[in-house]
């Protein structure tokens, strides 16, 4: 990977970080506002679930983006965290916070789909 590639990914990551940051701040406002206005309980819970899902997705992505920026800082950026192979350029350009090569990512997704659902207690608690 060249230095200019690295700069490109870094600026993409920083742009993303700023976007997620401002979106996460808006989430708080929107959630509070809608709860105050909503009359229909069903609508309220659907909107709240939707907001919670968005919030969880953005929070997870924010963590990935920060981790990728850390890897740029320590020089390990662009290498799969699982197998150590270089992550393909096209993949990094599409998703610069990728931590795994496509092979490892797909293997993990297959595993989490077939595995237990122990990892998702947050939505149940809100329902």
CB < 8 Å & 24+ apart, contacts of 80-83: 80/104, 82/108
Question: Shortest gap between Cβ of 54 and Zn ion (angstroms)?
Answer: 29
Q: Please identify, among the stretches 17-25, 35-43, 53-61, 102-110, the one whose residues bind Zn ion according to the rule CB under 5 A.
A: 102-110
| C-beta of 83 vs 93, nearer to Zn ion | 83
83 binds Zn ion (CB under 5 A): yes
92 binds Zn ion (CB under 5 A): no
- Count how many Cα atoms sit within 13 Å of the Cα of residue 57 in the half-sphere of its side chain: 7
Distance CA 44, CA 30 (A): 12
- Site of interaction with Zn ion (CB under 5 A): 80, 82-83, 101, 104
């Amino acid at each position: 990977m060249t230095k200019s590639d690295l700069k490109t990914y870094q600026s993409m990551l920083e742009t993303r970080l700023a976007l997620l940051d401002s979106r996460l701040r808006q989430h708080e406002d929107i959630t509070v506002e809608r709860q105050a206005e909503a009359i229909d309980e069903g609508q309220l819970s659907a909107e709240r679930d939707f907001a919670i899902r968005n919030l969880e997705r953005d929070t997870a992505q924010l963590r990935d983006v920060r981790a990728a920026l850390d890897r740029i800082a320590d020089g390990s950026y662009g290498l799969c965290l699982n197998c150590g192979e270089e992550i393909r350029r096209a993949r990094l350009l599409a998703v610069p916070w990728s931590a795994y090569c496509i092979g490892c990512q797909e293997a993990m997704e297959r595993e989490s789909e077939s595995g237990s659902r122990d990892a998702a207690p947050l939505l149940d608690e809100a329902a």
